[in-house]
């Protein structure tokens, strides 16, 4: 079978890697799927109320600061961070910009 590969971006698409590793973890069509995350805009975090988790069929154990919780909200890019193996930005310059102290604090 051919390898399934997804590329996702900031915001709602960031949910896909989390779904692949939780809801679809045992699905033969997606079990070995690979994802790469492209950072387009660090300013858009995709924040949602905690009640969003069950609506997405995601377990509550993901709602921790080390996974998807960000100051009481569900943060989709945070969720992808613990399941991704590869991440890149839209340009070398943007990758340097988002690593500055000012951006990290924001």
- Model confidence pLDDT, tens digit, residues 23-79: 898 999 888 888 887 777 776 667 889 999 999 888 999 898 888 888 999 887 666
Q: How far is residue 72's CA from residue 99's CA, in Å, rounded to a whole number?
A: 25
pLDDT for 83 equals 60
Helix (H, G, I), strand (E, B) or coil at 5: strand
Phi/psi of residue 87, each to 5°? -140, 140
Rounded to the nearest 5 degrees, what angle is found at the Cα of 58, between the Cα atoms of 30 and 38? 60
The number of CA neighbours under 13 Å toward the Cβ of 17 is: 26
Return the residue matching tokens 């070398």.
92
Q: What is the pLDDT of residue 51?
A: 94
Query: pTM surpassing 0.85?
Result: no
């Amino acid at each position: 079978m051919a390898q399934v590969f997804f590329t996702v971006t900031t915001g709602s698409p960031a949910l896909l890697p989390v779904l692949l590793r939780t809801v679809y973890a045992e699905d033969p069509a997606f079990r070995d799927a690979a994802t790469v995350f492209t950072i387009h805009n660090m300013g858009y975090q995709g924040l949602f109320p905690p009640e969003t988790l069950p609506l997405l069929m995601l377990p509550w154990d993901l709602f921790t600061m080390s996974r998807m919780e960000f100051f009481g909200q569900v943060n989709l890019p945070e969720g992808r961070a613990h399941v991704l193996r590869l991440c890149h930005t839209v340009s070398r310059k943007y990758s340097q910009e988002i690593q500055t102290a000012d951006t990290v604090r924001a």
